[in-house]
């Protein structure tokens, strides 16, 4: 009878360990998915806020007024700042997920 209880206890502990390992893997996958989403958002912000205005400015038929250059420069710096923030947050999220 003691052998049967011991086997039941071992099976219970094995099931508990399997649940813990499954939850750890699930947490890692969710973290990697979140990190990838933040990194894609930073790439999109970089493209829409920096690359697109630069291309538009290059192909513009008329020169911009100095105030327009200042406004465009401020907008580009803001987009660059937030793209870097999102990218760094994605890296931090990934590091936390893989711990």
Q: What angle do CA 70, 38, 47 make, to 5 degrees?
A: 35
**Residue 70 CB-density burial (10 A; 0-12 exposed, 13-18 middle, 19+ buried):** exposed
> Treating both helix axes as pointing N-terminal to C-terminal, what angle do 2-46 and 66-97 enclose, rounded to 10 degrees?
170
Kindly give the confidence (pLDDT) of every residue in the chain, 99 residues in length, as a single tens digit, with 9 standing for 90 and above: 566 788 888 889 999 999 999 999 999 999 999 999 999 999 999 898 888 888 887 887 677 788 888 888 898 899 999 999 999 999 999 998 888
């Amino acid at each position: 009878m003691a052998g049967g209880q011991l086997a039941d206890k071992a099976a219970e502990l094995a099931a508990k360990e399997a649940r813990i390992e499954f939850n750890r893997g699930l947490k890692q996958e969710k973290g990697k998915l979140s990190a990838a989403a933040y990194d894609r958002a930073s790439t999109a912000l970089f493209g829409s806020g920096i690359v697109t205005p630069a291309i538009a400015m290059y192909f513009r038929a008329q020169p911009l007024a100095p105030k327009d250059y200042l406004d465009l420069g401020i907008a580009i710096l803001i987009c660059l700042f937030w793209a870097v923030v999102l990218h760094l947050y994605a890296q931090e999220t990934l590091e936390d997920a893989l711990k």
